[in-house]
Amino acid sequence: MARAVVTLPAQARRGEIIEIKTLAAHPMETGFRRTQLGELIPRDIIRRFVCTYNGAEVFRVDLHPAVAANPLIAFTTERLCRDRDRLDPRRVSICTRPCLVLAAACVFLDLRAAGAAAEIPPAERRSGYEFMGRETRAMQDDDATNPGLLWVLDGEINACRTGRQKAAPLAFESRDLLALTAYVARQSRGLPIDIAIDEPTRPFLQAGRETFYRRQGQLNLACAQCHDDHWGAKLAGSPITQAHPTGYPLYRLEWQGLGSLERRLRSCLAGMRAEPYAYGAPEFVDLELYLMWRARGMKIETPAVRP
Ligand code: HEC
């Protein structure tokens, strides 16, 4: 049994056709990876999806290798029971096994040398959302199709667990930590980023700003060259956004899962052929503070969806 978010109308009349949307969460193991000892890790993907209602099967589908890790499955059915009955999400059962391979190509642009880049004026600030295609936006807009919500629901469970307080710190990028962060950030969805910089925090903001404008890595690039000077342009087919951290943690289709802002920043650093900072490193914390300050006034979108 895998976790699933089920969305369906609250009620329906007998004989009425209703649409049921399900988002299933599942780990993705391609069957091609090996453990440190060289043993093949068995494939583990969603192979079969069966939806039952009060014990009776209403929908079934067999899935094959090209399935996503967290597929959205929508289907229509006739209401099966008496008035006010609801489809019980606990009765959605999912069987697992064999495989998916995702190939991601990465090509980097050689950008022209930029002068001292100017900060983006407030009126021109745009979330990464606005650079996304119609499908990605639609996926983010509708809670029934936004896979990031799978983690938010986990967070809800975590937040209720009182035993947590005495537990060891949650690991960076672990499902538990992402779930908790997504859950907490989602409480601020739609609210503007309001960041207070005082004397004690000012040096950290300054350090973050310096990192953003400093050229680094084998390509000798600064964050600002892409995100202040070339936003709106494309890099290997992906739109270059303004790098606002409004949607994190967010669901990335390429990751087939939720990821933190630091994971995203590590990708950008790797793209610059620079040594990525470790998770939780002071350089990241400063950079994140600067990015938040740079996006002040913009609305939180967590969990956003990006390609
Ligand atoms: C060579 C150009 C380039 C450089 C240099 C670069 N990035 Fe990026 N960055 C991108 C592209 C392209 C994307 C969007 C990729 C996508 O979503 O598919 C992105 C995405 C982001 C995002 C996510 C925005 C969102 O809406 O989700 C953040 C934040 C970000 N970059 C910050 C940084 C920081 C900080 C640096 C410097 C350490 C940096 N980037 C350096 C090209 C660059």
Q: Which protein residue has the closest C-alpha to ligand 1 atom 15?
A: 238
Kindly give, in sequence order, each residue whose CB lies less than 8 Å from that of residue 172, ignoring residues fewer than 6 positions away.
260, 262, 279, 280
Residue 245 makes CB contacts below 8 A (sequence gap 6+) with 261, 288, 291, 292, 295
> In terms of pTM, does the model score above 0.85?
no
Nearest CA to ligand 1 atom 3: 226
Domain end call among 98, 121, 139: 98
User: pLDDT value at position 110?
Assistant: 24
**How many domains are there within the chain?**
2
Last residue of a domain, one of 98, 125, 159: 98
Is 277 within 8 Å of 222 (Cβ atoms)? no
Q: How far is the CA of 176 from the centre of ligand 1 (A)?
A: 25
Token look-up 């690039």 returns 221
- In ligand 1, the atom with minimum distance to the C-alpha of 287 is 35
Average pLDDT score over residue span 195-199: 89
200 C-alpha to center of ligand 1: Å? 28
Residues 88 and 178 occupy one common structural domain: no
Distances 120 to 59, 153, 226, 241, 244 between C-alpha atoms, Å: 50, 35, 12, 12, 11
| Catalytic site includes residue 226 | no
Burial class (CB in 10 A: 0-12, 13-18, 19+), 38: exposed
Which amino acid, one-letter code, is at 9?
A: P
Look at residues 43, 76, 98 and tell me which one is the last residue of a structural domain.
98
Span from the CA of 167 to the centroid of ligand 1 (angstroms): 34
Calculate mean pLDDT across residues 199-214: 94
Number of residues written out for the chain: 307
Q: Tell me: the pLDDT tens digits for 20-35?
A: 887 877 777 778 889 8
Domain span at 210: 104-306
Closest residue by CA, ligand 1 atom 25: 128
Specify the pLDDT at position 148.
Answer: 83
Task: Evaluate whether 27 touches 67 at the Cβ level (below 8 Å).
Answer: no
Average confidence (pLDDT) over 224-248 = 93
Instruction: Say yes or no: 72 and 188 in one domain.
Output: no
Q: Which of 51, 223, 226, 268 is catalytic?
A: 268
Same domain, yes or no: 113 and 77: no
Q: Answer yes or no: do 133 and 9 share one domain.
A: no
CATH code: domain of residue 67: 2.60.40.10
Do both 250 and 177 map to the same domain? Answer: yes
The protein residue whose alpha carbon is closest to atom 26 in ligand 1 is 128
Same domain, 94 and 109: no
In terms of domains, do 197 and 73 share one?
no
Nearest atom, ligand 1, residue 239 CA: 12
Residues near ligand 1 with C-beta < 6 Å? Answer: 128, 212, 221, 223, 225-227, 235, 238, 240-241, 243-245, 247, 264-265, 268-269, 271-272, 287, 291, 306-307
Q: What is the CATH number of the domain that holds 145?
A: 1.10.760.10
Ligand 1 pocket check: which of 227, 269, 284, 298 to mutate, most ligand atoms within 8 Å of Cβ? 227
Q: What is the pLDDT of residues 243-271, one digit of tens each?
A: 999 999 999 999 989 999 999 999 999 99
One domain, residues 59 and 191: no
Do 193 and 64 lie in one domain? The reply is: no
262 with 119, same domain: the answer is yes
Provide the pLDDT confidence category of residue 106 given band limits of 50, 70 and 90.
very low
The alpha helices in the chain, defined as continuous H runs, are: 134-141, 149-159, 175-186, 202-213, 223-227, 261-271, 282-294
Kindly state whether residues 117 and 92 are assigned to the same domain: no
Residue 172, classed as helix, strand or coil, is: coil
Please report the atom of ligand 1 found closest to the CA of residue 247: 27
Q: Are residues 122 and 249 in the same domain?
A: yes
- 225 pLDDT band, cuts 50/70/90, is very high
Ligand 1 midpoint to CA 172 (Å): 20
Report the separation in Å between the CA atom of 25 and the middle of ligand 1, taken as the mean of its atom positions.
27
Weakest mean pLDDT among 120-134, 160-174, 210-224, 225-239: 160-174
Q: Higher pLDDT residue, 158 or 285?
A: 285
Q: Which of 108-112, 178-182, 193-197, 242-246 has the lowest mean pLDDT?
A: 108-112
